[in-house]
Amino acid sequence: SQQGEEDPQALSIQEGENATMNCSYKTSINNLQWYRQNSGRGLVHLILIRSNEREKHSGRLRVTLDTSKKSSSLLITASRAADTASYFCATAPSGSARQLTFGSGTQLTVLP
Amino acid sequence: EAGVAQSPRYKIIEKRQSVAFWCNPISGHATLYWYQQILGQGPKLLIQFQNNGVVDDSQLPKDRFSAERLKGVDSTLKIQPAKLEDSAVYLCASSLTGLAGITDTQYFGPGTRLTVL
């Protein structure tokens, strides 16, 4: 079963605009991670935010976490055509040896 | 540093045939994961190894899927016999420790795209 659900399922924007993707989850987590997947490729880790953190930045990426609402958002600023990919949130449950459960993903298309 | 290697990259078989996938994780990584990713969905964990022991195989269809990680290094995933619904990308990933309570980044291979006709 999928723990996280991303919203929207698909997003199309112009180059230079900001892209925001949201993730909701159901159970208590140790941390939440965002991964990116280019078409036909494996996933690449982008950023990790721990359950006691509220916001984290990495380059053009900004992630927020609201554990009271069990939700997270990923913001990509000043998007580029090369950002076109699928983005997945993945949750690491508290107190479990299982590492990650992935959501269903957001397909981002950045138009040049 | 070499990444996670997988082979083959593509495989087409007919239903009821058998198929095997191979994965070589990043050197020194204790934990190895096999995921199934159906088109349009996120990866679903099939099995997680810690060295050569199984940590989680609760979502592995054990009547047809099997996996092993001999000597705690590379791993094979087998499907026997295959069904149409097994068509998917099979991703292998590895992480340094994979221990409960320790946050690990997972590194993914390119995947094997399986088509069952």
Give the rounded percent of residues in chain A with a pLDDT score beyond 90. Answer: 76
Q: Please give the average per-residue pLDDT across A67-90, as a whole number.
A: 96
Percent of chain B residues topping a pLDDT of 70: 94
Res. B9 pLDDT band, cuts 50 70 90? very high
Q: Provide, as residue numbers in chain B, all residues whose Cβ is less than 8 Å from the Cβ of A92.
A: 103
Position B28: which residue type? G
Confidence of residue B100 (pLDDT cuts 50, 70, 90): low
Distances in whole angstroms, Cα of residue B60 to Cα of each of A75, B2, B47: 34, 28, 6
Q: Tokens 């990933």 — which residue?
A: B93
Question: Would the pLDDT of A2 be above 60?
Answer: no
Residue A1 has pLDDT above 60, yes or no: no
How many Cβ atoms from other residues are within 10 Å of residue A39's Cβ? Answer: 8
CB A33 within 8 A of CB A47: yes
Give dist(CA B57, CA B49) in Å, integer: 9
Q: Say how many residues make up chain B.
A: 117
What integer pLDDT is reported at residue B105 of this predicted model?
85
Query: Does residue A87 contact residue A74 with C-beta atoms inside 8 Å?
Result: yes
Cβ distance B45 to A101 less than 8 Å, yes or no, reads: yes
pLDDT of the residue at B72: 83
* Tens digits of residue pLDDT in B71-96: 889 999 999 999 999 999 999 999 98
Contact B41 A45 (CB under 8 A): no
| Residues on B contacting A at a C-beta cutoff of 8 Å | 4, 31, 33, 35, 40-45, 48, 50, 55-56, 91, 93, 95, 98-101, 103-111, 113
- Strand partners for B56: B48
- Using only the alpha carbons of chain B, give its radius of gyration: 13
Decide if B41 and A104 are in contact by the 8 Å CB cutoff. Answer: yes
For chain B, the straight-line distance linking the first and the last C-alpha, in angstroms and rounded, comes to 37
Q: Which of A32, A48, A44 is nearest to A94 (CA)?
A: A32
Neighbours of B55 (CB within 10 A): 19
User: What whole-number distance in Å separates Cα of residue A70 and Cα of residue B117?
Assistant: 41
CB contact under 8 A, B48 and A99: yes
Nearest Cα to B6, choosing from B108, B115, B117, B114? B108
Strand duo B112-116 + B10-13: pairing: parallel
